[in-house]
Amino acid sequence: MTPSNKSPEKNGKSQEKIAGALGAVFFFAPALMNQKTEFTLFYMRQSFLVVLVQILLGILGGILGSIVGILGTICSLLTMVLGFGLLFLAWKAYSGEKFAIPYLYDYSVKVIKILKLDGFFSVK
């Protein structure tokens, strides 16, 4: 599934861009702001998968770090890289541009369907 290139920049919706940027870091933020549009949902979906992986890496890093220190360090570094990735997505969203990290958007849509969270990640 490839998202459309329609961006809020052309519409001049600064609130939507702010919600998209927040949604890129905190996937639930646009829902709290009542800004669930196709643009914000695009970033919410990507962010959801990244946050899910960060949580799993944190748990795995805690377990592996107590057994073999270097594995915990590697998990921590990967978590930091993912965090910088979320900040990059937030910058792209605030710029009004739809930017999909290769394969991430497609995988996130699949994970959301598997977890049956389609209702949360859809425009009402």
| Residue 40: other Cβ atoms inside 10 A | 28
Model pLDDT for residues 63-122, shown as the tens digit of each residue: 777 777 778 788 888 888 998 988 999 999 888 888 888 888 889 889 888 888 888 887
pTM of the shown model: 0.75
Model pLDDT for residues 14-69, shown as the tens digit of each residue: 888 888 888 888 878 888 888 888 888 888 888 999 888 888 888 887 777 777 77
**Residues 43 and 23 sit within 8 Å (Cβ to Cβ):** yes
